[in-house]
Structure formats: structure tokens, C-alpha cells
Amino acid sequence: MSVEVYLNKGIKEIITEFPEVEQILDEYDVGCGACGEGLCLLKEIVEIHNLDDDLEAELMTRISRVIYPEKEVMFPKRKRRSQGRKEIKYSPPMKKMVDEHVLIKRWLALIPKVIENLDLETEGGLENIYKGIDFIRNYADKYHHAKEEEETFKYFDENLDIIKVIRNDHVKVRAHVKAMLQAIKEKDKETLAEHLRAYSEILPEHIKKEDEILYPWMDRSLSTEQIGHLYSKFNEIDEEYGEAPKIHRDFIEKLESEYY
Ligand SMILES: [Fe+2]
Ligand SMILES: [Fe+2]
């Protein structure tokens, strides 16, 4: 089969045919195995991960040796628009979203304590859990995901696997939130804890995918004009939400001082 055919194949399919490829990708910190979806095409993976020139050449040579052990085959070099991946420089709108992730990560770090202290009987206990769910729904989902799904993604083809993977995570999160609310209604602590835990397991990987892969790739793909437009849209969103993000931040700080 030709190089072109492999470049246009999903990575999961390639790994099934050549299991060694997964380990090679891991060595270059391209954790496709951990991604869980594996829908990206080989050529997209190279494009999206934006490795240094030398590393990319080395990686592709190693993969080609696995696929074509009999002969020396070179994958074509892709055209690139930016330098190495290590120092990620975000555009202002992407930086805004990366900064919002920081508060979401602080909430994620609190979840084991939230689970430990779950209390569906007292007013104070219920208040904490409702505020936590409010943070997930209104800060992490509505306020932050509005910037992702409703503004940024519309510049890209919805059928791209990377967009589908990210959207899929958002859908999973919403399902867990629904289940959490149901569990509170039924005073079912166990189920509530289960969904909080599942949520806290999806998010770190999700944020890493966005910070390290999705946003830098989007930055490389968008024009300066598009980035400017996005930034003014984000400012409008911030204005629209007014004090709300600050109230969420205060809640996280209150929990931190309570639990640490
Ligand atoms: Fe997201
Ligand atoms: Fe995000």
C-alpha cells in the first residue's frame, strides 16, 4: 500500500495493523493510545502535534520502517507555519481559554475532598454541592465552552476528528452532570460520587488535549483577522457574564481554604 494511503488512515487502524506504532508515538509524547478515540488520520496527527522538524523526520522514519520493513520509504515532509511545539505561545483569545482552564483544574483538584465530604442532608452540605455543579455547568460548560463550541469551532470543519473528539468529551461531561443532579434528588451519595469521579477523570486529559494540541493547532490555522475577531467576541462574552466568573472563583477559593 502506498504512503498516501497510510497518511489518510485513522491512527487506530494503523495501530491495530502495526501495534509497535503506538509505542513509537508514545516515545514522542504523542499519546494516541491514551486519547481513547484514535480517530485522527496519521497525517493529521503529524500536523496537529507540530513536532520539531528533526523529531518529525525521525518519528516518520521509524513509523515507515514498521510499515515497510523491506524497503526504505520516506513520508513526505509537511509544510509548517510555526516553529517547535515546546514553547507554546498562545494568541490572546487562546490564552484566555488556557487561563480559564487553570480555575477548572483547581476545581478538579478539590473533587476528592468534595467526595470525601459529601453531605446531602444539611443545608451547608447541599449548598456546596449545588455550587460545585453550578461551577461545572455555568463556568466550565456555558461560559468557557461557549468560547470553544459557539465561537472558535465555527472556523473549522465540524467533521475533523480532533473537533469531534473534543465535542464528544463535552457531551460526556453534560451526561455526568445530569446524572449528578438526579442523584442529588434521590439522595444517592454513592451515585453522585461516582459521576463526580468520572467527570474528574475526563477533564484533565481533555484540558491537556486543548492546551497542548487543539489550541496551538487552531492558532496556527487561523488568520490574524480571525484571531482578532475571536478576541473581541470573547470580550463580549466576558462582559455578558459580568460578575459571574468572579463569584465562581470566590467559591473555589472558599473550598480551598476549607479543605486545605
Ligand atoms: Fe473543552
Ligand atoms: Fe476547554
CA of 48 to the centre of ligand 1 (A): 16
Which value, in Å, is the radius of gyration of the alpha carbons in the chain? 21
pLDDT value at residue 37: 63
pLDDT digits (tens, 9 = 90+) for 12-38: 888 889 999 988 888 887 766 556 566
pLDDT value at residue 38: 63
CA 22 – CA 98 distance, rounded (Å): 28
- Closest by CA to 192, choosing from 209, 177, 203, is 177
CA of 172 to the centre of ligand 1 (A): 11
| Closest ligand by atom to 99 CA | 2
CA of 27 to the centre of ligand 2 (A): 26
- Closest by CA to 9, choosing from 80, 67, 70, is 67
| Closest ligand by atom to 173 CA | 1
Reported pTM: 0.77
pLDDT value at residue 226: 96
pLDDT value at residue 84: 47
Cell numbers found for residue 78: 509537511
CB 46 within 8 A of CB 56: yes
Residues in contact with 132: Cβ distance below 8 Å, sequence separation at least 6, in sequence order: 107, 114, 251, 255
Query: What sign for the dihedral angle of Cα 139, 142, 36, 60?
Result: negative
CA 50 – CA 83 distance, rounded (Å): 8
Q: Which residues of the chain have pLDDT under 70?
A: 31-39, 79-86
Cell numbers found for residue 125: 452540605
Helix axes 42-49, 161-185, angle to 10 degrees: 80
Collapsing DSSP to helix, strand or coil, 36 comes out as: coil
CB 174 within 8 A of CB 141: yes
CA of 206 to the centre of ligand 2 (A): 7
β-bridge partners, 213: none
DSSP 82-145: S--SSS----HHHHHHHHHHHHHHHHHHHHHHHHHT--SSSHHHHHHHHHHHHIIIIIIIIIII
| Closest ligand by atom to 172 CA | 1
The C-alpha angle with vertex 240 and arms to 237 and 244, in degrees rounded to 5, equals 100
pLDDT value at residue 34: 58
CA of 101 to the centre of ligand 2 (A): 6
- Closest by CA to 157, choosing from 239, 217, 68, is 217
pLDDT value at residue 54: 83
β-bridge partners, 41: 10
